[in-house]
Structure 1
Amino acid sequence: MTTSTPLVVFTDLDGTLLDHVTYDWEPARPALAELARIGAPVVLSSSKTAAEIAVLQDRIGLTGHLAICENGCGLIGAGSGAGTGDHAALRRELDRLPPHLREAFRGFTDMPTDEVMDLTGLSREDAVRAKTRDFSEPGLWLGDDAGRAAFVAALGALGVTARQGGRFLTLSFGGTKADRMAEVIAHYRPARTIALGDAPNDIEMLEAADSGVIVSNPHHSPLPRLQGEDQGRIIRTDRPGPSGWNTAILALLDRLGLNKERQGHG
């Protein structure tokens, strides 16, 4: 049965709710506690796999909330599980590319677990979960910019899209985080939505929400100015990662009048 809530928060993980380097989320604990107090679900929305996200939900205290996995290819919870495309078919299309293009992309499936650990800083268990793909293939482009453009164009001719995240270029048969937002909204029926992210693959999600937050990430170039920033519907944080996340959420709750009860008892 669907429920109703004053607010749903959609959030990217790496570089947003999680620190880009350490994956720490503790600085966001005050805002997460306030969201829990008002009954606002936090929907993790990431290029991470369902296996990775389930563990993070348990760690952060978000077990049972819906979540968007593999860059919008899949939705976790509410009897869902179906997604966009198939990982084995995606790999077959990738291997159809001319050798000079194929060899310049090194995906997670191409990497042994130790290499994924080195690139990401994940534990062995988390790296194994990161390699357990259902729909998409993240990886590194090892060639030059012209080669990358040719790679993306060749994939496009095969029906494969390439989206840049905070660390990796992720390939899939389509689907964005914003594509899954409508399903989540239909389930929770929130009065308002907030989305937070730091990378190009978050743009549609940020622009689709009632309020968007671009979280500062000094580890890569900032996002271009987005539709909605001039009107103040999308804002940017000064602080990076979970610290910026925490400050932005608390400020938005103030603006929306959703923490008046807490202020009245403080």
Structure 2
Amino acid sequence: MIQAGTAKDPISAIQAAINTKTSLLLGLWASAGSAVIDNEIAALTTAITTYGTDFTSLVAGISVGSEDLYRVTPTGIANGENPGAQPLELAAYIKQVRDAIANTPLSSAPVGHVDTWTAWVNGSNQAVIDASDFIGVDAYPYFQSTMPNDISANKGLFNDAVGAVQAAVGGKPVWITETGFPVSGKTVGQAVPSLENAKTYWDEVGCPLFGKTNTWWYTMQDASPDTPNPSFGLIGQDLTTKPLFDLSCSNVDTS
């Protein structure tokens, strides 16, 4: 929620979303302690006051944290992803946000948390499930190198991950808050980045979700000014160019 370079000003992207009528999944950083959460909430409440219903009518939900539970796992720590946040800490932050938006135009907005699918199936994180209105799942079969993850297996790996989360969260709404397949970069396990494979993943995983499940794809653009490795962007360095592959879902089985 906080604009870069400020302590607690709302992010400038809000005005761009209003101008283009773009829906928003708001994110508050939760891995830096209570003082930062206080500033994130201050930015949120300022945005409500500043932009009013032009802003709040676009909000699909509010995520308190992103992959904080993953960061405190042995895998997350080994990958240098700490500090993270503990389950009871996150649950308290979720309540704090819900209290802050009470009696505002955002009072009915779902408040939840975004994390890896492996975090949601870990029973030690039940407090966050209980506190959340929705469950945000980040799932990337591309990174699942301990399993056969050739592109032909990606749809099955993704569906298995989401199914495991649905079984673990007691009927809470499950949203897909990050997924995608790289258009270029390093091979991970058997997963080979390419335009062809990214298109296959879009067709087989994305198209059946769109219009049925709240879904946020990773990502529109990540190759500006430099192309990362791996790169997941649907467009290249120039925002005015066409997507790198057909996104229409035409002639795709969406069952």
- TM-score normalised per structure 1: 0.28
More contact order relative to length (CA 8 Å, sep ≥ 6)? 1
Q: Which is richer in strand?
A: 1
